[in-house]
Amino acid sequence: MKYQRIKGTVDILPSETGKWIYLEEIIRNVMARFNYKEIRVPMFEATELFARGIGEGTDIVNKEMYTFTDQGSRSITLRPEATASVVRCYIEESLGKKAPLTKVYYIGPMFRQEKPQKGRQRQFHQFGAEALGSADPRIDAEIIAVSVQVLKDCGINQYEVALNSVATPQVRAKHREKLLEFVRPIASQFPEVDREKIDRNPLRLFDSKLELTQQLLQGAPLLEEFYDDEVRRDFDIVKETLTRLGIPYASDPRLVRGLDYYTRTAFEIRSPLLGAQDSLSGGGRYDLLVEELGGDPTPAVGFAAGMERTLIVMEAIGKSDYGEKPLDVFVIGESEAERKQALLLAKQLRDSGKTVDLDYLARSQKAQMKEASRQNARFALFVFADDIPGGRFQLKNLASGDQQTLSVDEIIKSIKFPASSGSPS
């Protein structure tokens, strides 16, 4: 029996984790600069939380959740996203009573049973931020700024911020009525996948990737025609703040998100370097979700971005330096006595904070030298039996070829700055 990973899951190999750690460090750094604190919520929750939170009519809830019954006959779902869980935690832990504005971020795996393709997996990773407690549209702009800043710090300068306001349920109800008047008489002409949206949520028609649907929608009433003064004012403040912050955006009156909880601001950040799955990040305001899930009415806004997609774009722009720490020293000894001494030297160097490796495969001195080069070690430390009594060993700088005979203390002092990797002084 040969086991294989489950379709839509990916092994992140040791040669790739450096990129992930690099990205995670950028995320943590940006979040700290904007004063968001990390929150770690469980990987699974009661199914009901996601059904209510994300919306019964969404593809995520209807088709994509990994739901199972546990040994206690409870319906459990692997989280398809983290906003519902963060809100559940916010209510359960009364976070709103501990601080007037709660700003949190998360990094971690999410699970959706979608058709796998480039940039789309069944276990994928998101980072995201949520700000709960403020209705100020300027924090909507901050959330977008956080998402953009991570991209910038990753070296990604080519992206588009698509912005819309999905208004309020009252505004949407008025629009829905007029949209249905427009769509119903031509309902039979819509492609089958989109036809079912007419009764469930006709606004989602605008999100269709099918040409025919978009053609049929020509001249259909747009949501923005129904905005009330408050919705329009909030949307204007978001736009004005983005301009003030130097973040270019494009209004996209057809932008509809795949989750039901959004009110007012909704946005997506897209990259032309991604294929069909071009959305790097998405989010918006969800002023009714806390109440919907049993908490006090609390305005909130947030975003989540795909980490695989961010890494795909970084690779596409040719990024290759992920700041991985090189191996400082490979300690080389061949005879039994030399190997014992090598082990001791490795311990002393590691105790002093150096990154060190040595041979466990009974290789010859020459093969160990090769291994040191293969691992791009900065230095090789040779242990010769004759040097053991004097306690001074030969340290070779593998970049310059310089070699010096040094005591352990001198070795530790000379291997200081990985960046310079100059010859031992």
Q: Write down the least CB distance from residue 109 to ligand HAM, Å.
A: 10
| CB nearer to ligand HAM: pick between 81 and 328 | 81
Distance CA 117, CA 111 (A): 15
Tell me whether residue 202 or residue 306 sits nearer to ligand HAM (CB atom).
Answer: 306
Q: Give whichever of 259 and 329 is closer to ligand HAM, judged by the CB atom.
A: 259
Nearer to ligand HAM, 309 or 339 (CB): 309
What minimum distance in Å lies between the beta carbon of 188 and ligand HAM? 31
Q: Which residues bind ligand HAM (CB under 6 A)?
A: 81, 83, 112, 114, 119-121, 124, 126, 128, 130, 258-259, 279-284, 286, 302-306, 308-309
Q: How far is the CB of 151 from ligand HAM (least distance, A)?
A: 12
* Smallest separation, CB 92 to ligand HAM (Å): 18
Min CB(85)–ligand HAM separation in Å: 10
The smaller minimum CB distance to ligand HAM, of residues 120 and 174, is found at 120
The smaller minimum CB distance to ligand HAM, of residues 150 and 358, is found at 150
Contacts of 231 (CB under 8 A, 6+ apart): 165, 167, 168, 171, 264
**CB of 28 or CB of 350, closer to ligand HAM:** 28
Cβ-based nearer residue to ligand HAM, 36 or 303: 303
Residue nearest to ligand HAM (CB): 306
Using CA atoms, how far apart are residues 142 and 244, in angstroms rounded to an integer?
11
Q: Minimum distance from CB of 27 to ligand HAM (Å)?
A: 14
Dihedral (Cα; 3, 8, 12, 13), 10-degree rounding: 40
Could you give the angle at which helices 229-244 and 137-153 cross, rounded to 10 degrees?
A: 30
Q: How far is the CB of 409 from ligand HAM (least distance, A)?
A: 51
User: How far apart are CB 53 and ligand HAM at their closest, in Å?
Assistant: 9
Of 265, 304, 293, 290, the residue nearest 139 (C-alpha): 265
Measured between alpha carbons, how far is 271 from 280 in angstroms, rounded to an integer?
Answer: 7
